[in-house]
Amino acid sequence: MASVCFYFQVHQPYRLRRYSVFDTDHNYFDDQKNGEICRKVATKCYLPANQCILDMIRVHEGRFRCAYSITGVALDQFAAYHPEVLDSFKRLADTGCVEFLAETYYHSLSFLYSREEFNAQIELHQQKMMELFGQKSTVFRDTELIYSNDVARAAHELGYKAVIAEGADHLLGYRSPNFVYHPPGLPISVLLKNYRLSDDIAFRFGNRGWAEWPLSTEKFAGWVNQVNGCGYTVNLFMDYETFGEHQWSDTGIFDFLYHLPGAVMSLPDNDFKKPSEVVAAYPPIGEFDAPHLISWADTERDLSAWLGNAMQSNALQELFNLEKAVKAKKDPELLHDWRRLTTSDHFYYMCTKYFADGDVHKYFNPYESPYDSYINFMNVLDNVATRIK
Partner 1 sequence: MLGWEFPPFISGGLGTACYGLTRALNDIGHHVIFVLPQSVTTEFTTHVALRTPAAIKGHIPGVTSYRLDEFNNVEFRSVPSTLQAYGPAGPGGVTEVHQHGSSLTSMTDPNAPTTAGVSGSVITGRSTVNASAHYDGDMIGETERYAAIAVALARNEKFDVVHAHDWMTYPAGIAVARAFNKPLVVHVHSTEFDRSGEHVNQRIYDIERRGVHMADKVIAVSHFTRNILLGRYAIAPDRVEVVYNAIDTNGKLPLPSTIRRDEKIVLFLGRITMQKGPEYFLHAARMVLDHVKNVRFVMAGSGDMARSMIELAAELGIGQKVVFTGFLRGHDVERVYKMADIYVMPSVSEPFGIAPLEALSHDVPVIISKQSGVSEILTHVLKVDFWDTREMANKIIAILRHPPLQATLREHGSFEVNRLTWKDAAEGCVQVYGMAIGQYGKRK
Binding site for partner 1 (CB under 8 A): 20-22, 309-311, 313-315, 352, 355-356, 368-372, 374-375, 378-379
Q: Which is nearer to partner 1, 38 or 315 (CB)?
A: 315
Of 24 and 328, which has the nearer Cβ to partner 1? 24
State how far the Cα of 158 lies from the Cα of 186, in Å rounded to an integer.
13
Smallest separation, CB 292 to partner 1 (Å):
23
Give the type of residue at 238: M
Which of the following is catalytic: 144, 241, 245, 323?
Answer: 144
What separation in angstroms does the CA of 365 have from each of 87, 177, 243, 362, 380? Answer: 29, 31, 20, 5, 18
Is the bond into 214 cis (omega within 30 degrees of 0)?
A: yes
Q: How far is CA 65 from CA 118, 269, 334, in A?
A: 29, 15, 39
Which of 204, 182, 215, 242 is CA-nearest to residue 6?
A: 242
Amino acid letter, 78? F
Q: Which of 345, 346, 353 shows the shortest CA–CA distance to 308?
A: 353
Please provide the DSSP assignment of 362-384 as one string: HHT--SSSHHHHHHHHHHHHHHH
Residue type, 171: L
Asked whether 200 and 212 are in contact (CB, 8 A), the reply is yes
Q: Apex CA 75: angle with CA 7 and CA 99, to 5°?
A: 30
Instruction: Name which of 80 and 310 has its Cβ closer to partner 1.
Output: 310
Could you tell me which of 277, 273, 195, 270 has the C-alpha nearest to residue 236?
Answer: 195
Complete DSSP assignment for 83-97? HHHHHHHHHHHHTS-
Nearer to partner 1, 127 or 314 (CB): 314
212 is catalytic: no
Nearest distance from residue 227's CB to partner 1, in Å? Answer: 43
Nearest distance in Å: CB 308, partner 1: 10
Instruction: State in angstroms the smallest separation of the CB of 309 from partner 1.
Output: 5
For partner 1, the closer of residues 252 and 366 by Cβ is 366
Beta carbon nearer to partner 1, 20 or 187? 20
Of 68, 27, 55, 70, the closest CA to residue 275 belongs to 68
CB of 13 to partner 1, least distance (A): 22
Q: Which is closer to partner 1, CB of 20 or CB of 32?
A: 20
Instruction: Encode 292-320: b = buried (16+ Cβ within 10 Å), e = exposed.
Output: ebbbbbbeebbbbbbbbbebbeebbeebb
Residues sharing a CB contact under 8 Å with residue 280, sequence separation 6 or more, in sequence order: none
The nearer residue to partner 1, 139 or 375, going by C-beta atoms, is 375
Measured from the CB of residue 266, what is the shortest distance to partner 1 in angstroms?
Answer: 50
Q: Which amino acid is at 158?
A: L
Supply the minimum distance, in Å, between the C-beta of residue 359 and partner 1.
12
CA dihedral 108, 110, 111, 114 (to 10 degrees): -170
Residue positions annotated with a catalytic role: 144
